């Protein structure tokens, strides 16, 4: 995932994804998506507000991306974007622009400024159920 810092919540919320351009940029960098983020949030309890675009794998915009949130958590800690402690908890809000708000919890554990583990969690709600027959 390509992680793109953005200065304001307004700028993140106004992004109009261009699927062909996203696919082109991602293919040049060997990524499957772009996660834009800002440290300005909708909810006071959140650390960052994000949007995730992955049209190359059939997802124009994802409401909750755990894998990318884990990578983002490591990025935030490694680059000092958030206050860093031996255990740094980050709340990622995502999906607001597509009316499917989510909060993803990321815990980054580090030792002597070296990231040791990244854990991702949260709660989920079933929105569809089905069966595949081959």
Local mean pLDDT, 10-residue blocks, the chain (134 residues): 98 98 98 98 98 98 97 97 96 98 98 94 87 92
What is d(CA 80, CA 5) in angstroms, rounded to the nearest whole number?
A: 13
Domains, the chain, ranges and CATH? Answer: 2-121 (3.10.310.10)
Per-residue pLDDT at 3: 99
Six token digits for residue 52: 């995730």
What is d(CA 65, CA 102) in angstroms, rounded to the nearest whole number?
A: 9
């Amino acid at each position: 995932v390509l992680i793109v810092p953005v200065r304001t919540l307004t700028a993140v919320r106004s992004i109009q994804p261009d699927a062909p351009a996203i696919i082109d940029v991602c293919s040049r960098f060997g990524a499957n998506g772009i996660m834009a983020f800002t440290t300005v949030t909708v909810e006071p309890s959140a650390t960052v507000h994000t949007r995730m675009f992955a049209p190359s794998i059939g997802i124009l915009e994802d409401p909750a991306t755990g894998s990318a949130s884990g990578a983002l958590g490591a990025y935030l800690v490694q680059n000092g974007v958030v206050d860093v402690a031996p255990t740094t908890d980050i709340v990622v809000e995502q999906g607001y622009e597509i009316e499917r708000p989510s909060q993803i919890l990321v815990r980054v554990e580090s030792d002597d400024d070296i990231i040791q583990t990244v854990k991702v969690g949260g709660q989920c709600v079933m929105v569809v159920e089905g069966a595949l027959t081959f």
